[in-house]
Amino acid sequence: MKKTGIYVHIPFCEKKCPYCDFYSRSGTDKLYNEYTSALLSRISSSPYRNEYTADSLYFGGGTPGLLGAERLTALVSEVRSSFGLDTDSSEVTAEINPSKNELDLEQLRKGGVNRISIGVQSADDGELDFLGRQHNSAQAARCISRARDAGFDNISLDLMIALPGQTKESLSRSVEFCVRNGAKHISAYILKIEPGTVFYRKRDSLCLPDDDEAAELYFHLCSLMKEYGFEHYEISNFCKSGYEGRHNLKYWHDEEYIGFGPSAHSFINGRRFFTPRSFRDFHSGAVTDDGTGGSEEEYIMLALRLSEGVGLSDFRARFGYELPEKYIEKSRPLEKAGYLKISQSSVALTEKGFLLSNSIISSLLS
């Protein structure tokens, strides 16, 4: 059977962060039980369960930890049963927030979750207050310590950069905090003001760093990660050797995955589709077609997010022909400007190119 990754969206939050545009809502124990039951039913009756074997599982949100260890491990068990998930060899990730320290992490680990992603965002309490987070740096440290004590070795921590008032010094402290607390993977995102968020309504008063200041912080982060022995394997992601996010690599390698829950996307048999952002649509089984996927343009766009870039042999194996010369020709002036590097085996963005990836990729594919 073919391999796939499975994403399960847990759309519950105690409080919506002012920068977040993911689908989420408040919940109660009754709603958590109803939603878990609906997910279990949807997974067990999936039309793809006899066609695919899962080798990664990712619980995202929202705040998946709000479901509690018992419900999450029940979902792991169902994916194991329906999609043959081997929790010994597969990556099973759950996102949690540092403020929820009552989550039974030992039960979660015994139930098959082997990777934890913790939304630290910053080790500076002032920056955390600006971001509307419900934890402080001390709570974050305790949460990470509890995860290690529960048997989690694969710990990923999230950071946000280019915040108002953020300096190289405060960013350095946040990075050092992550390293000191045993992170094997760090995701670092430049703050973006998304339509429909609280920050979008307040955008004129936020005093965000300008593009040059944001770039300085990004390059400072890249330099720090290298000093601490982390590989910069994707635009926003750094890891110790062997600790890449295997599930997310499926997205960037343009591989197949199945999503469950409102707002969850899928890419199966060349078709992209998603469940709309509402409980009504989820419970009714509504699906919106997002068109075909897997084109050479899509493959190039996703591969260029990775430091490995577009592998020429990988491209040939996938499409049955060489990477068209037009892409190489368009890449040459970008290489001279320091945004791209062309070798006998690949075409890849540099760290300088990562910052302008959207415009560079658009230029290559236009």
Q: Do 45 and 173 sit in the same domain of this protein?
A: yes
Q: Note the pLDDT of residue 131.
A: 95
What's 322's DSSP letter?
Answer: P
Q: Do 161 and 56 sit in the same domain of this protein?
A: yes
For residue 351, tell me if it sits in a domain.
yes
Q: How many domains does the chain have?
A: 2
Q: DSSP letters along 10-54, please?
A: E-B-SS--TT--S--B---HHHHHHHHHHHHHHHHT-TTTTTEEE
For residue 110, tell me if it sits in a domain.
yes
Domain end point (choices 250, 284, 317): 250
Q: Do 46 and 118 sit in the same domain of this protein?
A: yes
Q: Do 236 and 325 sit in the same domain of this protein?
A: no
Q: Note the pLDDT of residue 102.
A: 76
Q: Note the pLDDT of residue 366.
A: 84
Q: Note the pLDDT of residue 100.
A: 64
For residue 234, tell me if it sits in a domain.
yes
User: Closest by alpha carbon to 1, among 38, 40, 50?
Assistant: 50
Q: Do 215 and 77 sit in the same domain of this protein?
A: yes
For residue 265, tell me if it sits in a domain.
no
Query: What CA–CA distances, in Å, run from 56 to 31, 106, 168, 241, 245?
Result: 26, 20, 36, 19, 10
Check if the beta carbon of residue 131 is closer than 8 Å to that of residue 89. Answer: no
Q: Do 224 and 357 sit in the same domain of this protein?
A: no
Host domain of residue 327:
309-366
pLDDT digits (tens, 9 = 90+) for 31-78: 999 999 999 999 999 999 999 999 999 999 999 999 999 999 999 999
Q: Note the pLDDT of residue 242.
A: 96
Enumerate residue ranges in the chain where pLDDT < 70.
Answer: 100-101
Domain CATH for 207: 3.20.20.70
Residues 6+ apart with CB under 8 A from 113: 59, 72, 73, 76, 92, 93, 94
Q: Do 107 and 216 sit in the same domain of this protein?
A: yes
Domain end point (choices 250, 275, 290): 250
Q: Do 244 and 335 sit in the same domain of this protein?
A: no
For residue 297, tell me if it sits in a domain.
no
What is the rounded CA–CA span in Å between residue 168 and residue 221? 8
Q: Do 314 and 244 sit in the same domain of this protein?
A: no
Q: Do 90 and 183 sit in the same domain of this protein?
A: yes
For residue 96, tell me if it sits in a domain.
yes
Q: Do 148 and 58 sit in the same domain of this protein?
A: yes
Check if the beta carbon of residue 224 is closer than 8 Å to that of residue 179. Answer: no
Q: Do 241 and 317 sit in the same domain of this protein?
A: no
For residue 346, tell me if it sits in a domain.
yes
Domain end point (choices 250, 283, 317): 250
For residue 276, tell me if it sits in a domain.
no
